[in-house]
Amino acid sequence: MVASKLVAVLSTCTLALAAAATGGCTASDGDAEPKADCSLQGHNQFLFELMKDAYLWYDGVPDLDYRAYPSPEALLVDLVTEPRDRWSYISTKSVDDAFFREGQTLGFGMRWSFDQEGSLRLALIQPGSPAGEAGLRRGDAVVAINGIDVEQVVSDDLWEELAGPDEEGYEMSLTIERADAEAFTVALRKAWYGITTVVSPRVLQTGSATVGYLMLTTFIEPSVSELDSAFALFRESQVDELVLDLRYNGGGRLSVERHLASLIHRPAEAGALLDITAHNDRHVDWDKRETFDDLDQPPLPLSRLVVITSGGTASASESLINSLRAYMDVKIVGSTTHGKPVGMYGWDNCDMVVHPIAFRVLNAKEEGDFYDGLPPDCAADDTLGAELGDAGETCLAEALHLLEHGACSTAAQPGGAGERRASPPREIPWRGLRREVGAL
């Protein structure tokens, strides 16, 4: 596929954020498609020409000999605009389709995070995954991986090496410390499992308000039906406040993000603008102005929205916050978001799918470019020892306090514009689809 075909390819793609993939995008202009070159040089040439044409910062792509590189992944490292671009990546069509379309992924089914004390803990366990079936729990402390102390993993940056290849049966051992129990070691083997994207939807009371709560872990096609079911519960329960927990949401498809935005709020005027996608100056004809979805079910009767965030809140999650802020009061509880105000498409060559940053995302007021992240109105730490959806969990407790009292609690420190947490927990430097999935 040559660069001149990129417009036709783009026309069949679905917009997506946060290392999101469309997968399977093909030209549909009626012309015969040139046979793809699946050789190493063909992959490298495809990547190089794509970056010179569709990449948001194409004018910064260096002129180099792509034929000299041993893989497209190695070539991409030298093509991206550093340090601005932390997100462009390469995957495979089969993996992309399984995740974004079917809600299936290959891995262990666990998300881990560092707490404020510097301990590595399990933050989220996917039910039905190898980690879930092994009985691992949120809050379990991981002290060693494959027999290597966590501090050595951090100092030697062994994360990707220990995560291993994307192969069924690859084994990882974890040494676990759990409150009121002796330390133990568990061996996990990678397997395919289905992702639950809507976690712990429930209805809570705070003061006189009836509050809907849910955590959304990613924006993929199966999320639509999960979200519809959760919002049906909220409407039946007549909730008048909503807490949306996006602390572990690294993004996904913008079409799903727009569906969620439309479940939460829809302006009175038909065809109201939700967001703008703006491309580089070679492809201004790709720019789009997207409106709220016209759904059968009514939005919730909300005058405001509270969103729980962390440094893992990225891309489509941030776009949701930024887009709704143009129409309603959106408060952030937690910590500063990741800072990814740009998005990508998936272009495929044989089974290789390239995801270059290709557009900016702006709200209806043309606001965006939040590369430093979106700061919290009320700062709160992720209490990894408490269950998600528990009204006593620090972030949710702060959100409920804000709803009841209209202000942060005395324990929370409101953030200023562009302000970051003084001592945020360390982040694990996942890249590509692994950041998107948010779990191993």
Q: For the chain, what is the HEC assignment?
A: CCHHHHHHHHCCCCCEECCCCCCCCCCCCCCCCCCCCCCHHHHHHHHHHHHHHCCCCHHHCCCCCHHHCCCHHHHHHHHCCCCCCCCCEEEEHHHHHHHHHCCEEEECCEEEEECCCCCEEEEEECCCCHHHHCCCCCCCEEEEECCEEHHHHHHCCCHHHHHCCCCCCCEEEEEEECCCCCCEEEEEECEEEECCCEEEEEEEEECCEEEEEEEECCECCCHHHHHHHHHHHHHHCCCCEEEEECCCCCCEEHHHHHHHHHHHCCCCCCCCEEEEEECCCCCHHHCEEEECCCCCCCCCCCCEEEEEECCCCCCHHHHHHHHHHCCCEEEEEECCCCCCCEEECCEEECCEEEECEEEEEEECCCCCCCCCCCCCCEECCCCCCCCCCCCCCHHHHHHHHHHHHCCCCCCCCCCCCCCCCCCCCCCCCCCHHHHHHCCC
Is residue 411 domain-resident?
Answer: yes
The stretch 317-327 carries a mean pLDDT of 98
Q: How many whole angstroms separate alpha carbon 141 and alpha carbon 371?
A: 32
Whether 83 and 65 have beta carbons less than 8 Å apart is answered as: no
Nearest CA among 149, 172, 176, 174 for reference residue 161: 172
Is residue 14 domain-resident?
Answer: yes
Band the pLDDT of 82: cuts 50, 70, 90.
confident
The reply to whether the predicted model has a pTM over 0.85 is yes
The domain boundary, picked from 47, 73, 101, lies at 101
Q: Are residues 184 and 75 in the same domain?
A: no
Per-residue pLDDT tens for 257-293? 999 999 999 998 889 999 999 999 999 999 999 999 9
Q: Are residues 16 and 130 in the same domain?
A: no
The tally of domains found in the chain comes to: 3
Q: Are residues 419 and 279 in the same domain?
A: yes
The domain boundary, picked from 142, 175, 194, lies at 194
Per-residue pLDDT tens for 153-200? 999 989 889 988 889 999 999 999 998 889 999 999 999 999 999 999
More confident residue, 13 or 247: 247
Q: How many whole angstroms separate alpha carbon 110 and alpha carbon 122?
A: 7
122: pLDDT strictly greater than 70: yes
In this structure, which long-range contacts are made by residues 215-218, counting pairs with CB atoms below 8 Å and at least 24 apart in sequence?
215/245, 215/246, 215/247, 215/248, 215/388, 215/389, 216/244, 216/245, 216/246, 216/249, 216/260, 216/317, 217/124, 217/248, 217/249, 217/438, 218/249, 218/250, 218/251, 218/252, 218/436, 218/437, 218/438
Q: Are residues 91 and 180 in the same domain?
A: no
Domain that holds residue 411: 198-341+359-425
Q: Are residues 369 and 229 in the same domain?
A: yes
Q: Are residues 293 and 409 in the same domain?
A: yes
Is residue 438 domain-resident?
Answer: no
Whether 317 and 88 have beta carbons less than 8 Å apart is answered as: no
The CATH code of the domain that includes 142 is 2.30.42.10
Band the pLDDT of 3: cuts 50, 70, 90.
very low
Tell me the average pLDDT of the chain.
Answer: 88
431: pLDDT strictly greater than 80: no
Burial 307-331 (b: 16+ CB within 10 A, else e): bbbbbbbbbbbbbbbbbbbbbeebb
Structure token pair of residue 313: 């809140």
Q: Are residues 421 and 303 in the same domain?
A: yes
Q: Are residues 177 and 206 in the same domain?
A: no
Q: Are residues 112 and 249 in the same domain?
A: no
Cis bond upstream, residue 83 (ω within 30): yes
pLDDT at res. 29: 36
Q: Are residues 97 and 176 in the same domain?
A: no
pLDDT at res. 422: 46
Cα 118-219-198 angle, rounded to 5 deg: 75
Q: Are residues 173 and 34 in the same domain?
A: no
Q: How many whole angstroms separate alpha carbon 36 and alpha carbon 55?
A: 20
Nearest CA among 275, 267, 276, 318 for reference residue 294: 267
Q: Are residues 44 and 114 in the same domain?
A: no
